[in-house]
Structure 1
Amino acid sequence: MSDQYPVLYSSYQWLVPTQFNIAQACLQRWSGNVMEGRRLAMRHEHDEAQSTDWSYGQIAELSNRLANGLRKMGLQKGDRVAVIMPLRPEAVAASLAVLASGAVLVPLSPQLGSDALSLRVRDAEARIIIADATAAPELTHIMKQCPSLQQLVGLEFQNDDTLSWRTLLARESSDFLPVATQADDPAILLYTAGTTGMPKGVLHAHRVLIGILPAFVAAQNWYPQPGDLFWSPLAWTTAPGLLHALLAVMYFGRPMVTTRCPAQGIQALELMRRHRITNTAVLPGDVALMHEAVVNGASAEGCALRAIAVLGETLQPALHEWVVTSLGVLPNALYGLTEAPGIIGNSFQKWPDRPGSMGRPIPGHRIGIIDSQGRSCRRGSVGQLALAVRDQHGHPDPVLFLSYWRNEALTRSRHLDDWFLTGDMASVDEDGYCWFVGRCDDIFRCGNYRVSPPEIEECLKQHPDVVNAAVVPKPQGARGNLIKAFVVLNEMPPPAAQPDTAAMLQAHVRKRLAAWQTPQEIEFVDRLPVTAEGQVRRHVLRAREQQRSMLAAARAQSAGK
């Protein structure tokens, strides 16, 4: 294939209007026309035998009635509204009603639990919660913990604190004119997964939707094409799920399949066959579950995929090859952060795939590898990955967040001159492909060497007995750190066999990597601490090892007295 990347990248320019509203772009412009309003927006599966079709017009009617109700509650431009629902059409209607009202959407997962939900609702100072029965058990506690809350709108449940969704919609008009918002006005407040500590509020403007479109189109192999049907298990409470698996599809007025509970493993394969899904966006863990289902006897035949975007971490080589051979399509890597969702990736029909890489900078985004002084590193050298605030033509990058919620000091600390610092270490090769090295906080020194956990973890996970692995430093006092690995196996070995199993894995690593990269200590665990997106929370394991080392030092000191 010819490499079209140089032309695509050099010719791309942002066109961001002064006025822009996400709800207007994703819903109102389709529902405002009778014919366009009949377009299929969602085929929502309640179970394998029952599904309901929702048109853009039907979702707009719900959304408009709810927006009118929010207006009568006194909701003002910039107020925060939390939507706590699973994947369902009503969650879409509620989210777009908030955005159409000029308020700030705070999407939250009902699976977070009462304490985590209370923390986020309280931090956002949300005025209103819109929730369904899945969140109902937590809401009484949340209402007591969050003094800013003035109203709770409940779908499919009722109590003394709740305004019924059905009652609210029945008394409101289905006509609503979205509030005129600027492209730079606040629109969405997302909370990070907490992979490096406490979750942070990340405030995005309406323009973020425009900012993610080049990455979405590229990773979906120049979406939309005639007959495209999208499905994704990604949660709409995350940046990848909300932007790359919901709003981008609706921006193009195309249909998607949704399920109340995310389809994974064999259910995902069956769903893709049943609906002839052409486009999807998944996490590496979703691919691993599909692969596991096939290993256990499920079939991957009959899928109609033409594009699969893999967000988050890059796929292991074995899984990359499995997608090609079993699902019949090259996976496109797509890298981004909550603060800048979708800035590097692949689009195999437009530029060559390079397995294992993060891809190339998506047209419209200017990427740098910089040192601690903000100077550009030479090609091939490792430095911090940074996103330029302005593109190559001098235009502001619309994908970049406005600020951390009410934390200007943290916002400033993540900027260096005209760069936003991602916190990830990477390198760029001679052809412009980016290669992930690790989080700045995760990289540590062992003796004279700088250790990158992902490289060792990937090596461990290539062993057939290993399900997952995480590498962290184990403090050794004045001697520095040693490399420790936490490993999840297919079957936990008995205590007596664990030393031999650890030695086998150490030999596996030593054979494939440098000797100094071999973990000096391996601990077998049933599971690793992970985020909702499946990313390992290494900081939890680091803190555990630091605490253990401090206790060991204290015991040694006490014994020596």
Structure 2
Amino acid sequence: MPSMPSHAHDTRSAAPDFYAALHGSFRWHVPARFNIAQVCLQRWAADPRHAAQTAIIEDGPGQRRPVHHRYADLAVQANRLSHALRLLGVRPGERVAIVLPQRFETAVAYMAVLQLGAVAVPLSQLFGPEALEYRLQDSAAVVALVDEATGPGVQAVRARCPALRHVVGLTGAFDAEVIDWPHARDGLRKRFEPVDTAADDPAVLIYTSGTTGNPKGALIPHRALIGNLSGFVCSQNWFGFDPWDARVRSEAVFWSPADWAWTGGLMDALLPTLYFGRPIVAWRGRFDPLQAFALLQRHRVTHTFLFPTALKAMMKAVPEPRRRYRLRLQAIMSAGEAVGDAVFAWCQEQLGVTVNEMFGQTEINYVVGNCARLWPARPGSMGRAYPGHRVALLDEAGQPVPPGTVGEVAVHRRDVHGDPDPVFFLGYWGNEAATRAKFTGDPADSWCRTGDLALQDADGYLWYQGRADDVFKSAGYRIGPSEIENCLVKHPAVANAAVVPKPDPERGAVVKAYVVLAPEWAARRERSADPARDFDPPLIEALQQHVRGRLAPYEYPKEIEFIDALPMTTTGKVQRRVLRLQEEARAAAAASGGG
């Protein structure tokens, strides 16, 4: 933990600004040997005073009462699963897919895989067969860990994933092809000696969508957890400690609806909460604003990560929450898109908490943000570089731009003291060209470009300006157009397609697809007496169902427009930017009453 400036005192009402002192004095301490499971679980389980403390609070729809799982319970089950994976032949460095929702067994799975020295491959329960199959094939996962909800999907594509030797059902009943973990675990030893991993060894392989080609797998090392911690404690107002005396532990309880298969749920919620030895709520149900308030009250949640869309839904559902709920919130982190002035003000006035906006990527997470307890938050700003991270805005030539000029957000491999920043990913799995393209400059002394544009003011606050490429966010989810376009083109009616964001006041943007019909289908449309009534609606529905059944639900196009040809460059590349600008112009005209 970084220490507070020596002159710090409780001046919360005076809006203190300790940013310069904190950022300037911060130093990284990264041991050569480091394992995430060791620091998130085994050190707590080995301490008799802490082993009995709650690690996971499991709750869900229809569940009569929540179940509290201790750190000791988590260690025993993770140790048994590590032994099982070793018996199944999993070796250090091999990939193990974790296809599970928020639940106790998911935490068990991550700890078991990581302490074995293997690489966890988080896969969302929302993935359709094509999305799931691609990631299982590309990662060459040798084992998949599933439950009763996700097991059938993995089994459906298993035959086309030659590296996948075993599927283990952690809960539920399956056929003989799936290993029945509940009936096998009791015979395995309760103790396991974690593999002695280097801090630079790979720990997690998370897939992130790009603008061209297939989704890329970002290989995350064990040390990246350390790189996340300064941003986590700041965005959570000194999580786990009193912000004015780092020696005093708080009674923090964490909850977030973010899926533990994504960076936001894994690296921003589950792992850092366990690192500090605190409990995290695992809610297996879908997000609902009223249920969110009920969870916050029931579990006395003090710290949370809520997407802007979640906060907007909660604000509209319960404008004055403290009249109905007894809340104990001390911090709210939000990321994925801009929170906006209305939500920012609502959080301050109705929740009594200044929301801390944060910016990061799967490859370099938790690098920019706010910490309202230690420096003033400015509504609409992404914040400032978190302690330990050297951030600048670059022009196209890779040179830093002056304050007040728009540039691409980039993070340097070395901090302000010249020490290596541990937050960096190792590279894209099997894609050296993409890894090289991510950096500017000498490999040992380079900037990592994020593809996001921002403007920096004189005080170092960054103000988001948009994407430099075609990836966009909808309701907090990152959307890569290429995967959706590829899926659409597989339908016989589609000759070509381009996916862009359509501005939306609720979600920030919705997925829109421009579709060029195959000749036979284009001819049918021309022969239709009234395409807008008779032809378009059923085909649009069919295309939406086509995507919804193969990819994640949030990826299907909410709107489809048929056009004769896509705008193309002279080299044959689709100009998505033209279509994006067209959508922005239409939205502006509609807002002004002109369309």
TM interval, shorter chain, is 0.7 to 0.9
Q: Structure 2 matches for 1:380-395, cutoff 5 A? A: 380-395=404-419
- Structure-2 change in CA distance of 1:26 and 1:460 (3 Å): closer
Name the CA distance, whole Å, in 1 between partners of 2:192 and 2:260: 24
Q: 2:513–2:561: 8 Å Cα contact kept in structure 1?
A: no
Q: 2:126–2:553: 8 Å Cα contact kept in structure 1?
A: no
Q: CA deviation at 1:264?
A: 2.7
* Alignment partner of 1:56 out of 68, 71, 91: 71
Q: CA deviation at 1:440?
A: 0.6
Q: 2:320–2:350: 8 Å Cα contact kept in structure 1?
A: no
| Counterpart check, 1:79 vs 2:94 | yes
Q: CA deviation at 1:305?
A: 0.6
Q: What residue is the counterpart of 2:84 in the other structure?
A: 69
* Alignment partner of 2:56 out of 42, 48, 65: 42
- Structure-2 change in CA distance of 1:431 and 1:45 (3 Å): same
Q: Structure 2 matches for 1:435-474, cutoff 5 A? A: 435-442=463-470, 461=505, 469=509
Name the CA distance, whole Å, in 1 between partners of 2:251 and 2:365: 26
Q: What residue is the counterpart of 1:420 in the other structure?
A: 448
Q: What residue is the counterpart of 1:478 in the other structure?
A: none
- Structure-2 change in CA distance of 1:206 and 1:300 (3 Å): farther
Q: CA deviation at 1:318?
A: 1.0
Q: What residue is the counterpart of 1:503 in the other structure?
A: none
Q: What residue is the counterpart of 1:157 in the other structure?
A: 173
* Alignment partner of 1:111 out of 126, 130, 133: 126
Q: 2:16–2:373: 8 Å Cα contact kept in structure 1?
A: no
* 2:318 partner SS: helix
- Structure-2 change in CA distance of 1:49 and 1:18 (3 Å): same
* Alignment partner of 2:104 out of 89, 97, 113: 89
Q: 2:359–2:367: 8 Å Cα contact kept in structure 1?
A: yes
- Structure-2 change in CA distance of 1:18 and 1:297 (3 Å): closer
1:267-319 residue CA offsets vs partner (Å, 9 max, x unmatched): 00111112221110111111112112115999664211110000211202111
Q: CA deviation at 1:66?
A: 0.5
Name the CA distance, whole Å, in 2 between partners of 1:241 and 1:202: 16
Q: What residue is the counterpart of 1:250 in the other structure?
A: 274
Q: Structure 2 matches for 1:322-471, cutoff 5 A? A: 322-417=346-441, 418-442=446-470, 461=505, 469=509
Q: 2:502–2:511: 8 Å Cα contact kept in structure 1?
A: no
* Alignment partner of 1:188 out of 204, 217, 224: 204
Greater alpha carbon shift after TM alignment, 376-385 vs 300-309: 300-309
* 2:134 partner SS: helix
Q: What residue is the counterpart of 2:24 in the other structure?
A: 10
Q: What residue is the counterpart of 2:332 in the other structure?
A: 308
* 2:328 partner SS: coil
* 1:112 partner SS: coil
- List runs of 5+ in structure 1 lacking aligned partners: 444-456, 476-494, 497-525, 551-561
- Structure-2 change in CA distance of 1:178 and 1:266 (3 Å): same
Q: State the AA in 1 paired with 2:408.
A: Q
Name the CA distance, whole Å, in 1 between partners of 2:510 and 2:175: 45
Name the CA distance, whole Å, in 1 between partners of 2:105 and 2:503: 43
Q: CA deviation at 1:46?
A: 3.0
Q: What residue is the counterpart of 1:501 in the other structure?
A: none
Name the CA distance, whole Å, in 2 between partners of 1:196 and 1:49: 47
Q: What residue is the counterpart of 1:515 in the other structure?
A: none
Q: CA deviation at 1:136?
A: 2.1
Q: What residue is the counterpart of 1:201 in the other structure?
A: 217
Give TM-score scaled by structure 1 length. 0.80
1:483-512 residue CA offsets vs partner (Å, 9 max, x unmatched): xxxxxxxxxxxx99xxxxxxxxxxxxxxxx
Q: 1:23–1:99: 8 Å Cα contact kept in structure 2?
A: yes
Q: 1:316–1:458: 8 Å Cα contact kept in structure 2?
A: no
Q: CA deviation at 1:72?
A: 1.3
Name the CA distance, whole Å, in 2 between partners of 1:133 and 1:7: 51
Q: CA deviation at 1:152?
A: 1.0
Name the CA distance, whole Å, in 1 between partners of 2:513 and 2:296: 41
Q: CA deviation at 1:176?
A: 0.1
* 2:452 partner SS: strand
Q: CA deviation at 1:88?
A: 0.4
- Structure-2 change in CA distance of 1:442 and 1:245 (3 Å): same
Name the CA distance, whole Å, in 2 between partners of 1:442 and 1:472: 13
Q: CA deviation at 1:215?
A: 0.5
Name the CA distance, whole Å, in 2 between partners of 1:294 and 1:88: 27
Name the CA distance, whole Å, in 2 between partners of 1:141 and 1:349: 49
Name the CA distance, whole Å, in 2 between partners of 1:84 and 1:31: 25
- List runs of 5+ in structure 2 lacking aligned partners: 1-14, 242-249, 472-500, 516-531, 534-543, 569-595
1:389-417 residue CA offsets vs partner (Å, 9 max, x unmatched): 11111111111110001100000011101
Name the CA distance, whole Å, in 1 between partners of 2:349 and 2:221: 40
Q: CA deviation at 1:470?
A: 5.7
1:401-453 residue CA offsets vs partner (Å, 9 max, x unmatched): 1000110000001110110010011111000000111111259xxxxxxxxxx
- Structure-2 change in CA distance of 1:43 and 1:196 (3 Å): farther
| Counterpart check, 1:169 vs 2:185 | yes
Q: State the AA in 2 paired with 1:171.
A: G
Q: 1:133–1:154: 8 Å Cα contact kept in structure 2?
A: yes
Q: CA deviation at 1:474?
A: 9.7
Q: CA deviation at 1:364?
A: 0.3
Q: State the AA in 2 paired with 1:98.
A: V
Q: CA deviation at 1:111?
A: 1.6
- Structure-2 change in CA distance of 1:198 and 1:37 (3 Å): same
Q: CA deviation at 1:174?
A: 0.6
Name the CA distance, whole Å, in 2 between partners of 1:362 and 1:89: 31
- Structure-2 change in CA distance of 1:546 and 1:364 (3 Å): farther
Q: State the AA in 2 paired with 1:423.
A: G
Q: 1:269–1:300: 8 Å Cα contact kept in structure 2?
A: no
Name the CA distance, whole Å, in 1 between partners of 2:424 and 2:552: 23
Name the CA distance, whole Å, in 1 between partners of 2:23 and 2:562: 45
Q: 1:381–1:428: 8 Å Cα contact kept in structure 2?
A: yes
